[in-house]
């Protein structure tokens, strides 16, 4: 996934992603659903930017990610948190939380609805009774345009990264082709990655929550326009 570009992830996404606004929306959701919410598990935590900002607002935040470089970066950003390399569809931390988050379409990397269901069961197993789950989906079928090409450029501290991307659709799978040009210390080098994410309808995602034993609501807009699934573990 991001194994080639992990060290440049923040440079790229800080150039256009409004983490402060996203975290403010997450906090409003969490406190609206459970005013006593304090402990949070961030699944697919990436570089830990959401975790760090949630912690600054008083939450106790841990995280998991399948990418070891992200786990290292997140641990440096938020050393009070526990960050673990793990597959979101098969993990057991031996701890429960008031909330589980899975943001920025990380759930799409599971590629199949069977693995999504298994992940949601894992999420639920890590929630306290009455705990809250927020899952931000990937785009549904029919939205991505294989004809489009995208370019993002970011520069900081003498490093300039240009990322060019396009998508290929194969059935219910989207394949993102990412090509990086990195100018650093007077040298230019190139990296490439291919990311695969499953394309699931809102109805299919809702059915996956139900299969995991969860009731769920869907907010069409969500944090960044991709929608948001909100589920709550039953009180015991």
Task: State pLDDT tens for residues 47-90.
Answer: 999 999 999 999 999 999 999 999 999 999 999 999 999 999 99
Task: Evaluate whether residue 124 is within a structural domain.
Answer: yes
Co-location of 189 and 205 in the same domain: no
pLDDT value, residue 234: 81
Band of the pLDDT at 2, cuts 50, 70, 90? confident
Band of the pLDDT at 235, cuts 50, 70, 90? confident
Helices (H), 100-222: 113-125, 202-211
Split into its structural domains, the chain has a count of 2
Co-location of 11 and 125 in the same domain: yes
pLDDT value, residue 236: 66
Task: Evaluate whether residue 221 is within a structural domain.
Answer: yes
Residues 18-35 as b or e (16 or more Cβ within 10 Å = b): eeeebbebbbebbeebbe
Band of the pLDDT at 5, cuts 50, 70, 90? very high
Backbone φ, ψ for residue 108 (5° rounding): -65, -25
Co-location of 111 and 44 in the same domain: yes
Helices (H), the chain: 9-13, 19-33, 49-56, 68-77, 113-125, 202-211
Backbone φ, ψ for residue 226 (5° rounding): -95, 0
Co-location of 89 and 58 in the same domain: yes
What average pLDDT does this structure show over 40-48? 98
Q: Return left, alpha or beta for 116; rule: phi > 0 is left, psi -120 to 50 is alpha, else beta.
A: alpha
Co-location of 190 and 205 in the same domain: no
Residue 69 contacts by C-beta under 8 Å, 6 or more apart in sequence? 2, 3, 6, 7
- Give percent above pLDDT 90 in the chain: 96
Residue that wins the pLDDT comparison between 231 and 3: 231
CATH number at 219 reads 3.40.50.150
Co-location of 169 and 64 in the same domain: no
- The predicted-structure confidence for 126-177, as pLDDT tens digits, reads as follows 999 999 999 999 999 999 999 999 999 999 999 999 999 999 999 999 999 9
CATH number at 189 reads 2.20.130.10
Q: And the tokens for 204?
A: 């299919």
Co-location of 85 and 104 in the same domain: yes
Residue 32 contacts by C-beta under 8 Å, 6 or more apart in sequence? none
pLDDT value, residue 1: 75
Does the pLDDT of residue 110 top 80, yes or no?
yes
Domain residues for the domain of 177 are 150-198
Q: Is the pTM of this model over 0.75?
A: yes
Co-location of 118 and 59 in the same domain: yes
| CA-based nearest residue to 120, from 2, 235, 233 | 233
- How many residues can be counted in the chain? 236
Residue 96 contacts by C-beta under 8 Å, 6 or more apart in sequence? 126, 127, 128, 131
Dist CA 233 CA 217 (whole Å): 13
Co-location of 164 and 127 in the same domain: no
Co-location of 176 and 216 in the same domain: no
Planar angle of CA 93, 98, 103, nearest 5 degrees: 80
């Amino acid at each position: 996934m991001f194994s080639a570009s992990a060290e440049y992830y923040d440079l790229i996404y800080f150039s256009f992603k409004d983490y402060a606004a996203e975290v403010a929306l997450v906090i409003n959701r969490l406190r609206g659903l459970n005013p006593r919410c304090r402990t949070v598990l961030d699944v697919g935590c990436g570089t830990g930017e959401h975790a760090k900002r949630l912690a600054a607002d008083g939450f106790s935040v841990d995280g998991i990610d399948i990418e070891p470089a992200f786990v290292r970066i997140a641990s440096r950003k938020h050393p009070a948190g526990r960050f673990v390399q793990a597959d979101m569809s098969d993990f057991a931390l031996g701890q429960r939380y008031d909330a589980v988050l899975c943001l920025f379409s990380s759930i799409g990397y599971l590629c199949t609805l069977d693995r999504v269901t298994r992940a949601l069961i894992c999420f639920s197993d890590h929630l306290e009774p009455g705990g809250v789950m927020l899952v931000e989906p990937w785009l549904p079928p029919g939205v991505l345009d294989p004809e489009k090409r995208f370019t993002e450029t970011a520069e900081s501290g003498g490093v300039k990264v240009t990322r060019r991307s396009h998508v290929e659709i194969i059935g219910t799978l989207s394949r993102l082709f990412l090509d990086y040009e990195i100018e650093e210390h007077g040298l230019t080098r190139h990296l490439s990655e291919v990311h695969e994410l499953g394309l699931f309808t809102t109805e299919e995602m809702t059915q996956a929550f139900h299969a995991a034993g969860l009731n769920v609501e869907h907010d069409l807009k969500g944090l960044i326009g991709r929608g948001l699934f909100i589920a709550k573990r039953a009180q015991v």
